[in-house]
Amino acid sequence: MTKILSTLIVAVTLAGTGLAHAGTTDKMKTPNHVPVEDLKWFDTGIGPMRAAVAFGDMAKGPYGVFLKFPGGFTSPVHHHTSEYRAVVVSGTIVNSEEGEADITMLPGSSWYQRGKIGHVTKCVSEDECTVFLTQPGKFDFVPKNGGK
């Protein structure tokens, strides 16, 4: 698949994801352009995961954020209070709820994660993985049994 086709698939998927949280864009009164080179990456405090906010406020929600995971990364079992939707931008991701089979997702793939449901996120490729995530509520990361 060509890079242009991959980018188009991601853009179409993101547009659909954005419709799920349309209230977010209703609040924006002026155009908001964020070139990739202007993204401000920061450590999330969750292992080696890094983030760059595209819009909104992670502390309050709603928001959209790019997340990067190093190749081979596996999160502990955890949940988030609020549901989220995510799209794989690069790398190969697995996101599975406890007791469910792994589903491998390549760039352009997307998933919906229910809130308060334990799950594991993995970057199963050797190279770094990037996902774009939107969430109507604030960001939190609640490890199972208080672990990290």
Banded model confidence at residue 133, pLDDT cuts 50, 70, 90: very high
Residue matched to tokens 């774009």:
132
Residue matched to tokens 């969750």:
46
pLDDT, mean over the chain: 85
Convert the pLDDT of each residue in 78-90 to its tens digit: 999 999 999 999 9
Q: What residue ranges define each of the domains in the chain, with the CATH number in brackets?
A: 3-27+42-146 (2.60.120.10)
The answer to whether 90 and 107 are in contact (CB under 8 A) is yes
Convert the pLDDT of each residue in 76-122 to its tens digit: 999 999 999 999 999 999 999 999 999 999 999 999 999 999 999 99
Convert the pLDDT of each residue in 13-30 to its tens digit: 444 444 344 444 455 577
Residue matched to tokens 């292992």:
47
Pick the closest to residue 134 from 53, 70, 29 (CA basis).
Answer: 53
Q: What are the backbone dihedrals phi and psi of residue 98, each rounded to the nearest 5 degrees, phi first?
A: -55, 130
The C-alpha atoms of residue 55 and residue 53 are separated, in whole angstroms, by 6
pLDDT at residue 3 tops 80: no
